[in-house]
A and B are shown apart, each in its own frame.
Chain A
Amino acid sequence: EIVLTQSPATLSLSPGERATLSCRASQSVSNYLAWYQQKPGQAPRLLIYDASNRATGFPPRFSGSGSGTDFTLTISSLEPEDFAVYYCQQRYTWLGTFGQGTKVEIK
């Protein structure tokens, strides 16, 4: 099983600051990695697919990068609505696995 490790577990930042979230895979997943945003009481929402493609509805301040085992989600300037939990997920294997999540909270 491919294990995804996200860091940090919690990121405390102020609006306007840059957020950098990491997702590391226990073995290569090529570019078969997605990022999701989840707010309390809501279903996850696809943010990035195939490592670097922004999903419909998300603004350009969100960007994804990486391949192989190391991936990064960057939010260039945090808006109030961006404070949420972010998960990465690999689909290199048939079933796919999620990371444990990074909570981006208001400092």
Chain B
Amino acid sequence: DVKVTQSSRYLVKRTGEKVFLECVQDMDHENMFWYRQDPGLGLRLIYFSYDVKMKEKGDIPEGYSVSREKKERFSLILESASTNQTSMYLCASSLGTGGPYGYTFGSGTRLTVV
């Protein structure tokens, strides 16, 4: 089974801190994604990457950056955490592009910014 592992299940950070969320997949997938989930808003795409060192902005990239130095690892960075970034963050990976490949998600990181 494909496994997508997010390094932390729960995080509490202070406003202004730099925050790193790590995601690792073990099935050699080309594509990796970061979403955030908020009640009533569903899953919104922050950034995605279709290859090492490649990245594209999603629908809500403001306040975030990403890094993909190795194929299996995709990191989400909050440069200066703010309370409106309190959310559930979900990482996903996909073998190919488009719907038929679907996504495999990690278990999520619940981030609280105080």
Are A and B co-members of a single complex? no
Please report A residues at the B interface, Cβ cutoff 8 Å: none
